[in-house]
Chains A and B, each alone.
Chain A
């Protein structure tokens, strides 16, 4: 069974705030959503809890409970940067790290196979804790176990969700990792965790508390049928996990460094030719930024010169951008000015380009997406040429229509103009496709005695070994009555022929084959 670990940094935004304002550790501290009296308390530390301050309270109300209360905001970008930093640090201990999408400060680590590389899981977990948690002045817990939910619940059970253990008196930090050797032991420990330690909606928690459902075990024991209806989908998902449903690890992909470089075979002294080289590097860099969903705020061009020495030029666009033309124009102007000043006389033998980015707006990213890969107008011109050569009826498309007989269920209609395809967004399973003959091929009458079996066409295909059907299709009574008994006849060679027996003509026909 695969092993994984959960690193829990409780009340992560509060820890970030205390990291920014270490002198506040001796006070009651809250994180608010905005720096105003009407700002809502999101996280509070132990001292604030003692004063009766709760999450969800207005800052003004909290201040009335403790005149010495300290408050601050932690924006999403700061949290994201800290989470990214933690992920990079955790990757030093295992390549597969998944930060929680819902709760900042929760990370799952793939520990499968690490016991062969390290003396024990406990030693490995202690190393993670000391490097990533204690080393950064954070407090948190690590649990090594078997499931994402189990390790998360046990880690939460030890550290608390409300930040009560954070920044109490100089930062009390758990340093003892918990390691489970059996899934059953992990499950048992998880079931004993109080529900208030999990990120569960306060309203749901209140209702459950009234029902005396206070631990994960109590919650898991509830019948699953009505959980979603009564408590919502989030609670239902939590319930499924609490009952033992396994959730796979989705590790975040490591991000490539935002840097492109190239060593040149010769010393380049011309800014124009350098620009061509930089353009290639810039294209890769811009794509890398777009992949991250970021736009470039600043570029650094590092030129290494023949005989040693280097020069760094920094370029900042007016606003974060992914526009190659705009960036290239700025680079061109800078390179030309450097050349005019004699900065390229030594000859550039290595060039690197690195960038800083911020989250890009959707409009920027659409620059990469809005152009279709093919020119439909060119396709239509080519089809017009084919039409001119083979006739107007040569270029068609299939259209389904209502009908009883197979040949009546579709029609080939002229394709005047080819448009963009819109296949169903949800990919169905592939389907076997029949090849249909516009004129069914008449088969010889079946002899009364068939010592070698029913030979449909020739000896190569062999006799029919399996027949599915009949499926009776009738129609055309208003014109010429048709009654067919369709079968799928599988020959010894493996071919499946789509045959029918015409009741009125008393003959067998091949209408198609399965391919």
Chain B
């Protein structure tokens, strides 16, 4: 385990010598960026199958891209798997501090079977051991709120095993379904990410171009569900 003091010293030394700094142990804790709450951080998700769903006033993409940024800043390659029916808006992602050039996006043609195809794409990516974070965007705008996405248990089991073996985090983004349906029983951590507009306004917690978002753990096999984390995010220009 490498301490913060060593990391700081290594960073300084590397900067002084013009050497690019990287980390060796996979489970090394890193300084968490300000936008990533303590329990919602890559270290806590490595080796796990995670589901992020948007609650009322979803903030799922925002919290997942916080994770992407953290992964990139500690040198972990990231892959994003999505269908072609919708995509994250790249200017917003760049504004969130993500290096778009180093974010591999796999766009699965056709939207009907993306919940089946995405795990098949994720499998070789995680199996390669070359990715620290693989995100499967399973939120399909064409689906209604009442149609939850499901991952077969065998698929969950395989992905979960791969995540453990290669110490990678597999994060599934799902759309809010209106019920508390999960992707499946082998999901290790299921969180709901939502904006808290009213409280942000009342509590003067945020400026006019910010909003507080809350991550609520509905299920956490390691720590027990129920924990909440709040953090502040900037809103896109034009939204007040």
B112-147 vs A: 1/0 string, CB under 8 Å? 000000000100110111111000000101001100
Any A CB within 8 A of the CB of B1: yes
Any A CB within 8 A of the CB of B94: yes
Interface pair B108/A394, CB less than 8 Å apart: yes
Q: Which positions 50-89 of chain B face chain A at CB distance < 8 Å?
A: 54, 56-63, 65-66, 69, 72-79, 84-89
Interface pair A409/B91, CB less than 8 Å apart: yes
Max count, chain B CB within 10 A of own CB: residue among A410, A429, A490:
A429
Interface pair A435/B61, CB less than 8 Å apart: yes
Interface pair A433/B88, CB less than 8 Å apart: yes
For B24, list chain A residues within 8 Å (CB). 368-369, 371, 373
Interface pair B22/A370, CB less than 8 Å apart: yes
Any A CB within 8 A of the CB of B152: no
Q: Which of A293, A373, A376, A434 contacts B9 (CB 8 A)?
A: A293
Interface pair B210/A429, CB less than 8 Å apart: yes
List the interface of chain B (C-beta within 8 A of A): 1-3, 5-6, 9-10, 13-14, 16-17, 19-26, 28, 33-36, 54, 56-63, 65-66, 69, 72-79, 84-109, 121, 124-125, 127-132, 139, 141, 144-145, 178, 194-195, 197, 210-211, 213, 231-236, 238-240
A360-392 vs B: 1/0 string, CB under 8 Å? 001001101111111111111111011001110
C-alpha gap A383/B131 in the complex (Å): 10
Q: Which of A368, A389, A395, A430 contacts B105 (CB 8 A)?
A: A395
Any B CB within 8 A of the CB of A184: no
Interface pair A379/B77, CB less than 8 Å apart: yes
C-alpha gap A494/B176 in the complex (Å): 12
Which stretch, A240-248, A264-272, A398-406, touches the partner chain B? Answer: A398-406
For A118, list chain B residues within 8 Å (CB). none
For A458, list chain B residues within 8 Å (CB). 144
Max count, chain B CB within 10 A of own CB: residue among A370, A432, A458:
A432
Q: Which of A287, A373, A438, A469 contacts B86 (CB 8 A)?
A: A438
The 9 closest A-B pairs by CB, nearest first: A379-B130, A430-B35, A494-B57, A398-B90, A382-B128, A421-B102, A421-B72, A378-B130, A515-B61
Interface pair A386/B125, CB less than 8 Å apart: yes
Q: Which of B89, B99, B127, B144 contacts A433 (CB 8 A)?
A: B89
For A379, list chain B residues within 8 Å (CB). 77, 79, 104, 125, 128, 130-131
List the interface of chain A (C-beta within 8 A of B): 253, 287, 290-293, 362, 365-366, 368-383, 385-386, 389-391, 393-400, 406, 409-410, 412, 415, 418-424, 427-438, 441, 458, 460, 468-469, 471, 486, 488, 490, 493-496, 512-515
Interface pair B130/A433, CB less than 8 Å apart: no
For B28, list chain A residues within 8 Å (CB). 373
Interface pair B10/A368, CB less than 8 Å apart: yes
Interface pair A390/B109, CB less than 8 Å apart: yes
Q: Which of A362, A397, A420, A434 contacts B89 (CB 8 A)?
A: A434
For A422, list chain B residues within 8 Å (CB). 72, 99, 102
For B194, list chain A residues within 8 Å (CB). 494
A375-B75 contact, Cβ under 8 Å, with A291-B6, A390-B108, A432-B236 = no
Ordered by A's residue number, 21 sampled pairs between the chains whose C-beta atoms are within 8 Å are A293-B5, A366-B14, A368-B10, A373-B26, A373-B74, A374-B132, A375-B130, A379-B77, A379-B79, A382-B127, A386-B121, A396-B107, A397-B103, A421-B99, A423-B69, A423-B97, A424-B97, A428-B35, A430-B96, A438-B85, A515-B58
Interface pair A368/B9, CB less than 8 Å apart: no
C-alpha gap A448/B164 in the complex (Å): 57
Interface pair B234/A432, CB less than 8 Å apart: yes
For B131, list chain A residues within 8 Å (CB). 374, 379, 382
For A253, list chain B residues within 8 Å (CB). 3, 5
For A513, list chain B residues within 8 Å (CB). 58, 141
Max count, chain B CB within 10 A of own CB: residue among A371, A421, A431, A493:
A431
Interface pair A431/B234, CB less than 8 Å apart: yes
Interface pair B104/A383, CB less than 8 Å apart: yes
